[in-house]
Amino acid sequence: MAASPEATWRALTAAVTGGSNRRAGRVYARLVGATHVNISGQPGTVGSTVAGFIVTAANEPSELVLEGAHRFGIYRLGLYVDDLGDGTSRLRAETNAAFIGVAGRIYKLFVIDSRAHVLLVRRMLRGIKGRAESEHSSA
């Protein structure tokens, strides 16, 4: 993206804390029985929480790892910012999950196998890109 790693990091941490989807994220986290429901701490710092996740690793501006659990499984989302030089960067996402029991397999069918998860992650990445590039171009 046409944004520095620092601009990408700021857009990433803003997106992770929920932005306009903050309420929807909390509602969803409650519905699935997530361990973490509310936002706490500073965005992008280890131990801070957002709906459904706790930050387990944060190395500004290159790595943000979120982990969580709910009644259907445990999961991890790693977000990585690569410095491509010349004020540009790349944002990568890596997700891992394990699903528990029959209910977990059904949840996986609706969320993962339906590709809903892929679409939501891509939407999040596009939003971060737009925000980072907007900040970068106005700087």
pLDDT of res. 39: 85
Tens of pLDDT along the chain (139 residues) come to: 999 999 999 999 988 876 546 788 889 899 999 999 988 888 889 999 988 999 999 999 999 999 999 999 999 999 999 999 999 999 999 999 999 999 999 999 999 999 988 898 898 899 999 999 998 677 5
| CA–CA separation, 40 and 126 (whole Å) | 25
* 116 burial type by CB count under 10 A (0-12 exposed, 13-18 middle, 19+ buried): exposed
- Kindly state the tokens that stand for 96: 């891992």
Strands 63-70 and 53-59: antiparallel
Starting at the earlier edge strand, list the strands of the sheet with 49-50: 49-50, 53-59, 63-70, 73-85, 88-99
Q: Which architecture, in CATH terms, is 5-138?
A: 2-Layer Sandwich (3.30)
> Rounded CA gap, 71 and 62, in Å?
31
Scanning the structure block, which residue is given the tokens 């699935």? Answer: 32
Q: What is the pLDDT of residue 19?
A: 56
